[in-house]
Structure 1
Amino acid sequence: MGNVNLLPVFLGALAFFVVGALWYGVLFGKPWRELNGFTDDMIKAGPRPGQNPTWLIMLLAFLFELLISLMLGHNIARTNPPPHVIMMMAVGFGATIMTPALGINYLFQMRPGKLFAIDAAYLIVGMAAMGGVFVAFS
């Protein structure tokens, strides 16, 4: 895989995770929950039988973000780009790969456009945060 620096890989995933906590917490938590049909009572009650527990959801989300960060780190290690290109790669992944994939999924699920906007913007901003970590280590 080349000389991937694992510290920015881990910290990049952590930055993405923190953006998610803010995004789906204080910034867009209420409209996101409403658009997904979650009520306050449902949130307070926690997962129903057969649903994943919150700790597992958070762990898996972080592991997926770690995989994304590892791929970005691999591309950076293979090409040794300047900082502005690192940011172009990170934001580009979010805007031109992750967001369209999400959009296709949402189209077939007939999900609301507002929900797509919240989730797609999160992917782009999260990737920008991840890219910022890689730039700091470049």
Structure 2
Amino acid sequence: MEMNFLAILVAAVSALVVGFIWYNPKVFGNAWMQAAEMTEDKMKGANMAKIFILAFIFAVLLSMSLMPIVNHQIGAFSLAQGELGVLPSYDAFMADYGNEFRTFKHGAFHGVIAGIFIALPILGTNALFERKSAKYIFINTGYWIVTMAVMGAIICGWQ
């Protein structure tokens, strides 16, 4: 099993696309600005190239970390990497089960679960200490749940 770098890159781009839609003023953008205490003046002073480049790099890292969550076969691959190397039994196993649960739907499901059980606790904890509202938590966590669902679908379903 190899890491599909094209799927990882497309999944990373999807985070930017979902963010463009999610934080659009016609969707959650205005509500987010209010909840985040963001102003037009703060936004004008930003280096957008730096922000988008770093956001893309972070999305690539997230895509790579989602791969073992959404692709169960990576667990078998990691077990096969012992001192003896990959045995013929691994090839037989992958011939039988290499495409099991490799669907967009399955990846989206695990992406949603990861969003709820990973992104929500992290963002929620930060927001509590930053004294942000529940609205702020739900807007940002909602974005990550949707984004991780899309990323998981791409990573798992892309073959």
Common topology (TM > 0.5): yes
Report the Cα distance in structure 2 between the residues aligned to 1:113 and 1:122, rounded to whole angstroms: 14
TM-score (structure 1 length as normaliser): 0.83
Identity of aligned residues (%): 30
Report the Cα distance in structure 1 between the residues aligned to 2:37 and 2:126, rounded to whole angstroms: 18
- Summarize the Cα distance change of 1:6–1:110 in structure 2 as closer, same or farther, 3 Å threshold: same
Report the Cα distance in structure 2 between the residues aligned to 1:72 and 1:41, rounded to whole angstroms: 35
Match in the other structure for 1:89: 110
> Is the Cα contact below 8 Å between 1:4 and 1:74 reproduced in 2?
no
Question: 1:74 Cα shift?
Answer: 4.2
- Aligned-partner residue type, residue 78 of structure 1: I
Report the Cα distance in structure 2 between the residues aligned to 1:68 and 1:128, rounded to whole angstroms: 12
Q: Any idea what the Cα deviations from partners look like across 1:31-68, whole Å, max 9, x if unmatched?
A: 1112222233443xx21xxxx51111111111111101
Q: Any idea what the Cα deviations from partners look like across 1:100-121, whole Å, max 9, x if unmatched?
A: 1111111111111111110000
TM-score (structure 2 length as normaliser): 0.73
Match in the other structure for 1:29: 29
Match in the other structure for 1:71: 65
Report the Cα distance in structure 2 between the residues aligned to 1:102 and 1:89, rounded to whole angstroms: 19
Report the Cα distance in structure 1 between the residues aligned to 2:3 and 2:117, rounded to whole angstroms: 23
- Aligned-partner residue type, residue 139 of structure 2: I
Match in the other structure for 1:61: 55
- Aligned-partner residue type, residue 110 of structure 2: M
Larger radius of gyration: 2
Q: Which stretch of structure 1 is more off in the superposition, 59-68 or 24-33?
A: 24-33
Q: Secondary structure at the match of 1:89?
A: helix
Report the Cα distance in structure 1 between the residues aligned to 2:40 and 2:66, rounded to whole angstroms: 37
Larger RCO of the pair (alpha carbons < 8 Å, separation 6+): 1
Is 1:3 the equivalent of 2:2?
yes
Match in the other structure for 1:19: 18
Is 1:38 the equivalent of 2:38?
yes
Report the Cα distance in structure 2 between the residues aligned to 1:38 and 1:110, rounded to whole angstroms: 14
Superposition RMSD in Å: 1.9
Report the Cα distance in structure 1 between the residues aligned to 2:19 and 2:27, rounded to whole angstroms: 10
Give every structure 1 segment of 4 or more consecutive aligned residues whose post-TM-superposition deviation is greater than 3 Å: 40-43
Report the Cα distance in structure 2 between the residues aligned to 1:93 and 1:38, rounded to whole angstroms: 28
Report the Cα distance in structure 2 between the residues aligned to 1:107 and 1:38, rounded to whole angstroms: 17
